[in-house]
Amino acid sequence: MRLPRLSPTTLADRAATVLRDNDTGALVTASPKLYPHMWSWDAAFIAIGLAYLDVRRAVTELDTLLSAQWSDGMIPHIVFTEATGYFPGPDRWGTDAVPQCPPHVRTSGICQPPVHAIALRRIVDTARRASQADVELAETFATRAWRPLYRWHRWLARHRMSESCGLITIVHGWESGMDNSPRWDSPYAHVRPGPDLPPYVRLDTLGVEDPDERPSDDEYDRYLWIIEQLRRADYAPEAVVTNSDFRVGDVFTTALFAMACDDLADLAHESSLEVPGKVADLRAWAARAREAVAHNTDPDTGFAYDRDLRNGDTSKTTTIAAFSPLLCSALPDRLERRLLEELTGPGWAGHPELHAAVVPSVSPNDPGFDARRYWRGPQWPVMAWLFSFAFHRRGWAELARQWRDQGLRLVSDGSFGEYYEPFTGEPLGSTQQSWTAAVTLDWLHSW
């Protein structure tokens, strides 16, 4: 049963309260119960929302994340707080002895999509609409954060841009941020947990009303087995791309990388940073990433597909990630229009039975669609925000407004669900999810 829709003012107040309640001072946890730590891409979206409350606090969020950056440039996917209650925690990751990991924090040993430069640029823009003091704060931070972010992008370009297909390689489904998406079913079929997988007890299923909203036990065994493989390779960047049984060229992450490289290059230009060689690198990586997305796109439909790097197979699974080319402007006009029609048509965001007309993680017409299970059907507000933001950037103002309005419809009960049942709009997974609150604030303030 859904709660009544809140007015924009009340919704904004509630969103701000979520961010404040989840704030430990140095970081905003991804959610209070299920995810009591900092997640890399969540932190970027959270910082975008925080900027509407306090630009200084938004800067602190990214600062905290950057202070956990590994010495080789990787930004880890989790920065752990002292909280217990999430598994796998720092002991299971075993990164304490890894030389690249900074000594003052405990982190996981993999990464997540590189949306941080996109967030930084958004925060600078938000500050410019606020006060002169905020502009100075944001621009000074942008200058300070620029080099660490460049090093992060260089790490991805060096260690993760596949030489064979140009896509960014992920070595664990968690690196995509879309953990149990059907995109990964076939690559995970290669992952066979060994008898020496140390025993463990799941805690995530305790944080939701119905364990069926989370990945299955079988999937968890595979997630934990890959961690074991990466840990045994000491998380060395050259080793993990050969040691993990899961090695996939991820079109969605690659599209985000293209966007983020351009944003970082633009920020250098706007801040008059004297880094011409590095800007040239970023432009070249953006072009390469965009090309790779285009190259891994079906020439008739425009759908983009991941590549299993173990055997070179192109995925045939169509999910929300198939629309990656629209994020980074990878396609010629005709194909782009075709893809956009598909996204907004009855198979996807325009499905007549949807509660809110934004993209579900899997098409309701797909036989594998599961309306309640995590990345296998539900709508994720943060994903709807990403597309609406990209539409706005692309100059598709009307479409951006429609998606903002529909996104707000999805979150308008003020529970800030992690994801939503597409037909009823019921919040699922965690509630008081910080990135949902953050993108709500952005929607309420923009275009």
Point out the catalytic residue in the list 308, 342, 418, 442.
418
Rg (CA), the chain: 20
How far is it, in rounded angstroms, from Cα 19 to Cα 47? Answer: 10
DSSP letter (8 states) at residue 107: B
Please give the single-letter amino acid code of residue 398: E
Q: Distance between alpha carbon 339 and the CA centroid of its chain, in Å? A: 22
Point out the catalytic residue in the list 63, 72, 179, 298.
179
Contact (Cβ atoms closer than 8 angstroms) between residue 118 and residue 263: yes
Nearer to ligand 9WN, 15 or 138 (CB): 15
Asked if 418 is an active-site residue, the reply is: yes
Shortest reach from residue 290's CB to ligand 9WN, in Å = 23
Q: Which of 184, 162, 155 is nearest to 76 (CA)?
A: 155
Classified as helix, coil or strand, 153 is helix
Contact (Cβ atoms closer than 8 angstroms) between residue 51 and residue 126: yes
Q: Which of 118, 252, 242, 244 is nearest to 181 (CA)?
A: 252
Shortest reach from residue 175's CB to ligand 9WN, in Å = 9
CA-based angle 248:253:256, to the nearest 5?
Answer: 160
Q: Give the nearest residue (CB) to ligand 9WN.
A: 177
Classified as helix, coil or strand, 220 is helix
DSSP string, 283-294: HHHHHHHHHHHH
Residues found near ligand 9WN in the complex (CB under 6 A): 30, 35, 39, 41-42, 77, 174, 177, 179, 204
CA torsion 12-18-23-28 (nearest 10°) is -90
Classified as helix, coil or strand, 41 is helix
Asked if 238 is an active-site residue, the reply is: no
DSSP string, 236-295: -HHHHHHH-S--EEEHHHHHHHHHHHHHHHHHHHHTT---HHHHHHHHHHHHHHHHHHHH
Nearer to ligand 9WN, 30 or 411 (CB): 30
Catalytic positions are 179, 418
